[in-house]
Amino acid sequence: MAAGETQLYAKVSGKLKGRSSPSLLDPLLAMGFPVHTALKALAATGRKTAEEACSWLRCHCDDPSLDDPIPQEYALFLCPTGPLLERLQDFWKESRRQCARNRAHEVFPHVTLCDFFTCEDQKVECLYEALKKAGDRARASFPPALPLALHSSGSYLGFFISDGPADLIREFAMVFASEASVLADCTVKPCTKQLHLTLAHKFYPHHQRTLEQLARAIPPDPSCQWTAALYSRDMRFVHYQTLRALFRYEPQNEDELALSPGDYIFVDPTQQEEASEGWAVGTSQRTGCRGFLPQNYTERASEADTWVKHRTYTFSLAVELSSRKDGEASGRQGGEFAAAQPARSVGTLQTLQAALARRRVLVVRHGERVDQVFGKSWLQQCCTPDGRYHRPDLNFPSSLPRRSSGLKAFENDPPLSSCGVFQARMAGDALQASGIRIAAVFASPALRCVQTAKHILEELQLERRLKIRVEPGIFEWTKWEASKAPPALMTLEELKEAGLSVDTNYRSHPWACASVKRTERRGGGSW
């Protein structure tokens, strides 16, 4: 690190005289990592193990900001556990399904105890000490039950905590802020407003009644154990949009970003002018590198998906006493203060395993489509002046099915290429070799998806026994055809005339369009 950067880092971070555990820092220093990057890696991974920090450093070897003196931002939340958490998570899922996404879906169920604040990397362990001291002081007086009162307005829905218990919780937050100031030299602003657990925020007004009905179905749980949880986030991407990679992408140019399934990407919506249609500029959380990425390889993720959990403190005498025995051993490895979640019963596991054994759902992506290979002008390459189809390349289909709307309709509803047909047959061959038994087949109404299902069934030798159920609910019109009108898809009669064995008696369920999880991001799922 250059002399100027060293001075800047020292100005922000202070002297490296932290009280970090040698069992975590020493292995990283022995590998040759500089002390400031080792501390940064430990803070970014929640100071759990040296192995995780080492893996983080190896992934960030090309991160241009690795030496930047930018600390993490931290916040303290009060989080429910057990059955109440499960009910709240069900509400999160159902409210999103029925009323679309709102601001509450960006974060997990929680009560905010303080604003986000910064802490120098070498003083993070002091925050853990502050949390434990504050928890030990508040444990005896912590409310045995937190009564939650539902409150609703035009843009907010949530549970309010009554004044008596709320005062005790705020006192705990103030003790933590005081301890953090002394031990970690942090300025923490504890929450002084009405304590609340947000259920929905900034939603459409016409969804208020539905959200209220879903909220009233959440049963109260006075026996819920509450946990104080310390989280951190990368302060550089607070106002960015978070995307999750669905597929692997290998860069074709040096300014593109490599993607692996599950990667999180930070994208600033206000700085996308240089990206062409269907592309975005983002920064990978896994590697710290910045570049262009195809948007149809990603899906929208929640803001809190990229947050790192550091330590928790559960307000229960029984749990705390039992966790102290394990805490000494787990603490040496960066363990949490709270005890682990109770294991599931044997009967529950057996029931779950039996249910999984009875039924499985296979999701298959469609094969290569013609416009992915030859571009959006592919139809112009295969149309004669008199409006007939000819095959200019062997990767074009040998023929196109007849449709009442004419050849022009294939522009927005393209067929499989010859390679796509081969891919579908290979998938069917692999399923045949695996011995999997297929009971029913559903396909998006997009031509390429019905064709994929057809060729897979042929390889499985099931084309006569199983008919393809065309389900509009699993079709998605996305970035590939942005800013255009929805396509005119082929009718069941036209698909059947084209030799595709579709079930003309199948009728789509009315809830299908809203309930199907949209995993296919390139213009339609398969089956």
List pLDDT tens digits, range 450-483: 999 999 999 888 888 889 999 888 887 654 455 4
Query: Rounded to an integer, what distance in angstroms lies between the CA atom of residue 392 and that of residue 43?
Result: 58
d(CA 50, CA 28): 7
The per-residue pLDDT for 252 is: 92
**Highest mean predicted confidence (pLDDT) among 296-310, 317-331, 350-364, 426-440:** 296-310
Determine the pLDDT at residue 7.
45
Burial class (CB in 10 A: 0-12, 13-18, 19+), 265: buried
Residues in the chain: 527
Residue 254 token pair: 């040096």
Query: How far, in Å, are 55, 240, 456 from residue 243 at the CA level?
Result: 22, 10, 32
Q: For the segment 311-333, what is each residue's pLDDT rounded down to a tens digit?
A: 999 986 434 433 444 443 333 33
Distance in angstroms (rounded) separating the CA atoms of residues 390 and 400: 9
Mean pLDDT of the chain: 83
When mean pLDDT is compared across 235-239, 273-277, 283-287, the lowest value belongs to 273-277
Architecture per CATH, domain 370-498, reads as: 3-Layer(aba) Sandwich (3.40)
- List, for residues 188-198, the tens digit of each pLDDT value: 999 988 999 99
User: What is the per-residue pLDDT for 513?
Assistant: 47
Helix, strand, or coil here: 37?
helix
The token duo for 294 is 């195809």
241-303 and 370-498, same CATH topology = no
Q: Which amino acid is at 370?
A: V
Strand segments (E) across 83-142: 111-112, 117-119
Query: Residue 351's pLDDT band (boundaries 50, 70, 90)?
Result: low
Decide which of 3.40.50.970, 2.60.40.10, 1.10.3720.10, 2.30.30.40 is the CATH code for 241-303. Answer: 2.30.30.40
pLDDT score at 326: 41
Beta partners for residue 299, in sequence order: 244
Categorize the per-residue pLDDT at 21 as very low, low, confident or very high, splitting at 50, 70 and 90.
very low
Q: Could you tell me the two tokens for 279?
A: 């592309």
CB 487 within 8 A of CB 409: yes
Domain 72-234 class, CATH top level? alpha beta
Percent above pLDDT 90 for the chain: 54
CA distance 202 to 34: 45
Rg of the chain on CA atoms, in Å? 28
Q: What value does the mean pLDDT take over residues 74-83?
A: 94
Range in 12-16, 91-95, 116-120 the model is least confident about = 12-16
- Of 110, 108, 99, 115, the closest CA to residue 155 belongs to 99
Taking the mean position of all CA atoms in its chain, how far away is CA 193?
30
Interatomic CA distance for residues 96 and 377, integer angstroms: 37
Tokens 């796509």, located at residue:
420
User: What does the alpha-carbon distance between residue 360 and residue 355 come to, in Å, rounded to a whole number?
Assistant: 9
Above 50 in pLDDT, residue 506? yes
Please count the other Cβ atoms lying within 10 Å of the Cβ belonging to residue 247: 14
* Nearest by Cα to 25 from 7, 11, 43: 43
124-139 vs 163-184: helix axis angle to the nearest 10? 140
- pTM, rounded to two decimals: 0.59
pLDDT at 308: 96
The pLDDT value recorded for residue 101 is 93
Q: Where are the domains of the chain?
A: 26-60, 72-234, 241-303, 370-498
DSSP 325: H
Q: What is the mean pLDDT of residues 4-29?
A: 54
Amino acid at residue number 479? K
Summarised one tens digit per residue, pLDDT across range 217-226 is 998 777 788 9
